[in-house]
Amino acid sequence: MPNINAPYGFAPVCYRNGNPWNGMTRMYAIASGDANAFYTGDPVKIVANADANGLPIVTLGTAGSPLRGVALSFATAVQGGFLQGGPFINPSNLALNYRPANTTGVMYCAVVDDPDVVFSIMEGTGTPGTAANISGKNANFVYGAPASGVYVSGVTLDTTTYATTATLNCRLMGAVQDYQNTPFTAFQRLLVTLNSHDFSGGTAGT
């Protein structure tokens, strides 16, 4: 059965040691007026700034540059503009499950920022990864617009970037093992870690 072309960005699966992902995230801020729309599964990077509560500000990640993690959910501030621990909803619009572009006012996102988390991600268009490069090679991601009415990330793995280059964003760890994923064919889903994570040792600060 062919693989489904349905991007979802980065989805946490487990830790490098094999333990299942426990759902833990850390709260970050998104600056008022950030021109990007943010969706569940989007990679984010840190900027050299914080909000009024001391929460670091993130923006969308850049292919080939250090990342802080993956955004999973979004919220507006409540209780006089202060947000600690959620809830990760928009109390004014319970159907809004992403952060629209150019939003006025600081918003918040729950980010999977542990560098040991393993993610699932779909390959984008192009030649599918082979046995020689889906395990051990590195690759960048590429942005794509979410499907109409689907508010999850359109990010996929860039199949044109498979290489040993140390600065590529993702370290490939093989194919996702389930009956809905056929390895070495179009739109296969692969397991990766964030190779360019800025919590890893020896990285420069912002």
Three-state secondary structure string covering 150-194: CCECCCEECHHHCECCCCCCEEEEEECCCCCCCCCCCCCEEEEEE
47 shares its domain with 72: yes
- Under the banding of pLDDT at 50, 70 and 90, the label for residue 206 is very low
CA 3 to chain centre: 21
Looking at residue 205, the DSSP 8-state letter turns out to be P
Last residue of a domain, one of 112, 143, 166: 112
Q: Do 95 and 169 fall into the same domain?
A: no
Lowest-pLDDT choice from 28-32, 103-107, 146-150, 200-204: 200-204
- pLDDT of 203 higher than 50: yes
* Residue 131: pLDDT band with limits 50, 70, 90: very high
> Which whole number is the average pLDDT over 178-206?
86
Q: Is residue 121 part of a domain?
A: yes
Q: What pLDDT band is residue 90 in, cutting at 50, 70 and 90? A: low
Residue 5 falls inside a structural domain: no
Q: Which of 94-98, 142-146, 190-194 has the highest mean pLDDT?
A: 190-194
Please tell me the predicted confidence (pLDDT) of residue 48.
87
Rounded Cα gap, residues 202 and 157, in angstroms: 25
Whether the pLDDT of residue 39 is over 80: the answer is yes
Length of the chain measured in residues: 206
Number of domains in the chain: 2
Decide if 27 contacts 185 (C-beta within 8 A).
Answer: no
Say if 128 falls within a structural domain.
yes
The answer to whether the CB of 174 falls within 8 A of the CB of 191 is yes
Domain span at residue 188 reads 11-15+115-194
Statement to judge: residues 137 and 99 lie in one domain? no
Write down the mean pLDDT value for the chain. Answer: 89
* Of the candidates 105, 109, 110, the residue with the CA atom closest to the CA atom of residue 33: 105
DSSP string for 58-96: EEE--TTS-B-EEEEEEEE-BTTTB-SS---S-TT-TT-
Among the three residues 83, 112, 141, which one is the final residue of a domain in this structure?
Answer: 112
